[in-house]
Amino acid sequence: MRRRAIGLAIALVVSTVAIQTSVFGAGRIQPFGASPALVLLVVIGCARYLPADPALLIGFTAGLLLDLLGGSALGLWAMTYTVIAYLAWRARDRADDGPLVIAVGVFLLTVLGQSLFAVAGTLFGQRIISNPVVVKHMLLPAAYNVVLAALVLPLVTRLLGDRRRGWAL
């Protein structure tokens, strides 16, 4: 069961990275100049059900794939998503599973993820913080993720979580 869940999580992450890098972004779906951080949402979803080690490794792998297919130095998204996976995994037993808590959690973790990347990128010479639209690139993806969480998290629950919960968050 655990191996099956990890295998499904890897497949889910790879598919989501392909969607993120081909469907979203400049010239694709980018409403108001920003796109959802779909991979981050899937990492959060996986961290809610997987044990700590696989959850962290899934976060690291997802981030590394984004690094390889994006414009950042290798390791920056990997670092960010590992931290997000860790926080999501740590928080899952400490918070209620209600929709409001999940929405707030997804919003905060997305803002934190985008902020961490902006700071790490700037430290490694990418001057992201000086980007005049950096705040927009932190807040809008978080808002989009809250909306998409209603679709994505039930899907992750269905694939990795307790099947009896069906499509619940």
Partner 1 sequence: MYSFRRFDRSTFLLITLLVISFLLATFDVRAEGSGIGTTMREGAQTLFSPLQRAMSAATRPVVAFIDGISNIAGLRDENERLRAQVAELSAQIRDRAVLETKVADLEALNDLATPGELAAVSARIASPGSSDFDQIRWIEKGTSDGISVGDAVFDDRGLVGRIDFAFEGSARVLLLTDPSFGVGVRDTSTNETGIVEGQTTELSLKMFQAQDPVEEGDLLVTSGSRFPPGIPVGIVKKTATNEAGFALITTVEPLVEVSRLDYVKVIVGWSPLDAGAADEVPIGSAPGLPGFNP
Of 31 and 99, which CB lies nearer to partner 1 in the complex structure?
31
Of 140 and 153, which CB lies nearer to partner 1 in the complex structure?
140
Q: How far is CA 153 from the centre of its chain?
A: 11
Told to check if 4 binds partner 1 by CB under 8 A, we report no
Using CB under 8 A as the binding rule, the residues of this chain from 84 to 143 that contact partner 1 are: 86, 89, 117-118, 120-121, 124-128, 130-134, 137, 141
Task: Quote the least distance from Cβ 12 to partner 1, whole Å.
Answer: 13
Q: Phi/psi of residue 160, each to 5°?
A: -110, -25
Bridge partners (DSSP) listed for residue 29: 24
Told to check if 58 binds partner 1 by CB under 8 A, we report no
**Rounded to whole angstroms, what are the CA distances from 20 to 12, 29, 38, 64, 109?**
12, 10, 6, 14, 18
Give 72's contacts (C-beta < 8 A, 6+ positions apart): 66, 117, 121, 126
List interacting residues with partner 1 (CB under 8 A).
14-15, 17-35, 37, 39, 52-53, 56-57, 60, 63-79, 82-83, 86, 89, 117-118, 120-121, 124-128, 130-134, 137, 141
